[in-house]
Structure 1
Amino acid sequence: MFMASRIQTRAFSASARNLSKVTVLGAAGGIGQPLSLLLKLNPKVTDLALYDIRGAPGVAADISHINTKSKVTGYEPTPSGLASALKGAEVVLIPAGVPRKPGMTRDDLFNTNASIVRDLAKACAESCPEANILVIANPVNSTVPICAEIFKARGVYNPKRLFGVTTLDVVRASRFVSEIKDTDPADENITVVGGHSGVTIVPLFSQSKHPELSTNAELINRVQFGGDEVVKAKDGAGSATLSMAMAGARMAESLLRASHGEKGIVEPTFVDSPLYKDQGIDFFSSRVELGPNGVEKILPLGEINDAEKKLVEACLGDLKKNIEKGVAFVAANPGK
């Protein structure tokens, strides 16, 4: 994530070749507003486009007063407004959708959010097929395949440009470990693989500084179901919006750094992956090296212990069903 000192106007020094338009679809929502704020503070974002079914111009007017150089535009909820928001975008983030409520799983949200993501993916395919698409809308395990199917149907699918944002799982795991070990969370870098829902979330503590934590069932459960902790604490008033916004901003920052030529940028993210295709699982979150063209290299899982192998095995069954659900949704509901 960008350092605090870099959010000051005087730190901004983008050259013409590093001009970056970033678009947020769902910018007036619980995730969209703090996400838009964080992107306004990022000196790599020079043109911030905000779109929602209501309220985007207001959010844009508000954050446009922040003293960083980026231009902020809020677009009206019309087909032409959406197209204008997307045209020329380098990165598109999609937090649009309805939030979870107590007792709801991510899959409970499926039908509503699937339709929203389908329609926004169509707009992206038409207006910015070359952009990096970052899907935040849940359930990510299904919404990313929905986007892929929409792009395939229009002949513009590039698997290197489509990402499911699983960064919050990494952020949570690193923070939870720091609480247990009394360390600086910035020094903890826990790899989390699989998907972005319940048991599909697999933290690989054996690859961290604390391999003994790989058998800590309570910690693993907390990483897998951390979202439920937030929903319960908010007493039905919302879900993980602020931490998710930070995670989305971090992923966008990493992509922008890589696109501007920085080497060695690696983030776990849910992408079209070869790792388990032989088992019929086309998407999987693992460590991905980013580059100017999006996905540069999908890194292998590496060595994991027996406890983690069992977690991966449990992950794969659910993940396959989630992916198939997204593909089937588009087949049955192609939309207009």
Structure 2
Amino acid sequence: MSFLSQDKLTIIGAGGMIGSNMAQTAAMMRLTPNICLYDPFLQGLEGVAEEIRHCGFEGLNLTFTDCIKEALTDAKYVVSSGGAPRKEGMTREDLLKGNCEIAAQLGKDIKAYAPELKHLVIIFNPADITGLVALVHSGLKPSQVTTLAALDSTRLQSELAKHFGIQQSQVEGARTYGGHGEAMAVFASTAKVAGEPLTNLIGTDKLSSEEWEALKKRVTQGGANIIKLRGRSSFQSPAYVSIEMIAAAMGGKPFTWPAGCFVSLPGLDNVVMGMETIIDKDGVRYSSDIKGTEAEKAALKASYEHLVKMRDEVIGMGVIPAVADWKTVNPNL
């Protein structure tokens, strides 16, 4: 069986549940034989490497290290789940300072050790802000950095499928945009349920307005619900979706769920947030034509403003410079 690429893929945070699942998924999808696992917790990391070896993947050249320089040297693709996990009662925003400092160091390490990097996927929370911080410090182009936003849209798809008792794939165009958090904008106008526009169903006996509001709340709190049910934050879904994202960047099937990316539009700029995107071998590009009702666009603007507030908090912490000075750190911005 052939591999999609021969390029080195480095998985950061591979000793954790998300990272170890990413490693196995990447090996199962045969993205590349050259997978390097990094984590500062060497014993747990070695355990992950041993488990992957015990799977017996044909042709796999798996390495692991607790040295970030070794992990990033010659890497062409990186996926990082290397932040602190979210625990019960915490919001993604509660992780802001510590995880942004981790993201800043990752960006600096990429600039130092992986100057030929083609694509970076950041999934540790709050992913929009950690992705922005990593982008600023890495020197990468905006098209080379994406963050996990698709999970909110797949949760919307799942909730609609459960409500209507149909297969999940029969729900098309389920979309959330803006921040990856409780302040996300949930769009109804883009979705179809078994071919029927969702907007035709809301406010009927099939989906009352009250049921729709409750469903939206379940979507925005989907991560908290997983913590409540399993006693730990999501790991299977972010691992799988993020590897689908990097697979697209490596030349696989394009990734067409919304992704977090650096946005530069009038009134929506200088943040990383979930947009209608395509990830392929040329990186990520987003649509500047934002479709939706006026209420949905207002919700997106509110989500953007929430991200700006967090971005400015991080600037105030000194983790990244003021927006006007980003070019001095990263000429691509």
Contact in 2 for aligned 1:59/1:74 (Cα 8 Å):
no
State yes or no: 1:196 paired with 2:204.
no
1:42-72 Cα offsets, whole Å, 9 max, x none, are: 1123211100011222211210232323221
1:268-315 Cα offsets, whole Å, 9 max, x none, are: 11111123x5355432311222232312x3113542123323322321
Unaligned runs of 5+ in 1: 1-11
Q: Which moved more, 1:212-221 or 1:29-38?
A: 212-221
Identify the residue that residue 6 of structure 1 maps to in structure 2: none
Identify the residue that residue 60 of structure 1 maps to in structure 2: 49
From 156, 161, 164, the counterpart of 1:178: 161
From 247, 254, 268, the counterpart of 2:248: 254
Q: Secondary structure at 1:97's aligned position in 2?
A: coil
From 213, 216, 219, the counterpart of 1:217: 213
From 177, 190, 196, the counterpart of 1:207: 190
Q: Which moved more, 1:286-295 or 1:94-103?
A: 286-295
C-alpha separation between the residues in 1 aligned to 2:134 and 2:314? 9
Identify the residue that residue 273 of structure 1 maps to in structure 2: 263
Closer/same/farther in 2, CA of residues 307 and 181 from structure 1, 3 Å limit = farther
**Structure 1 length-normalised TM:** 0.82
Identify the residue that residue 298 of structure 1 maps to in structure 2: 286
1:228-252 Cα offsets, whole Å, 9 max, x none, are: 1112223xx4211222212222222
Q: Secondary structure at 1:321's aligned position in 2?
A: helix
C-alpha separation between the residues in 1 aligned to 2:316 and 2:53? 41
RMSD of aligned residue pairs (Cα, Å): 2.2
Identity of aligned residues (%): 24
C-alpha separation between the residues in 2 aligned to 1:187 and 1:49? 37
Q: Secondary structure at 1:221's aligned position in 2?
A: helix
Q: Which moved more, 1:247-256 or 1:40-49?
A: 247-256
C-alpha separation between the residues in 2 aligned to 1:219 and 1:39? 32
C-alpha separation between the residues in 1 aligned to 2:223 and 2:135? 25
The aligned amino acid for 1:222 is R
Identify the residue that residue 244 of structure 1 maps to in structure 2: 238
**Structure 2 length-normalised TM:** 0.83
Identify the residue that residue 109 of structure 2 maps to in structure 1: 123
Closer/same/farther in 2, CA of residues 187 and 250 from structure 1, 3 Å limit = farther
Unaligned runs of 5+ in 2: 203-208, 322-333
Closer/same/farther in 2, CA of residues 177 and 45 from structure 1, 3 Å limit = farther
Q: How does 1:1-336 map to 2 (within 5 A)?
A: 12-14=1-3, 18-54=5-41, 55-69=44-58, 70-75=60-65, 77=66, 81-129=67-115, 130-151=117-138, 156-189=139-172, 190-199=174-183, 201-209=184-192, 210-212=197-199, 216-234=212-230, 237-256=231-250, 259=251, 265-275=255-265, 277-295=266-284, 297-329=285-317, 330-331=319-320
C-alpha separation between the residues in 2 aligned to 1:136 and 1:121? 14
Contact in 2 for aligned 1:101/1:238 (Cα 8 Å):
yes
C-alpha separation between the residues in 1 aligned to 2:229 and 2:289? 34
C-alpha separation between the residues in 1 aligned to 2:158 and 2:93? 26
Contact in 1 for aligned 2:119/2:246 (Cα 8 Å):
no
Closer/same/farther in 2, CA of residues 41 and 305 from structure 1, 3 Å limit = same
1:135-160 Cα offsets, whole Å, 9 max, x none, are: 11111121112112212xxxx33111
Q: Which moved more, 1:90-99 or 1:65-74?
A: 65-74
Contact in 1 for aligned 2:2/2:30 (Cα 8 Å):
yes
C-alpha separation between the residues in 2 aligned to 1:71 and 1:87? 16
The aligned amino acid for 1:266 is T
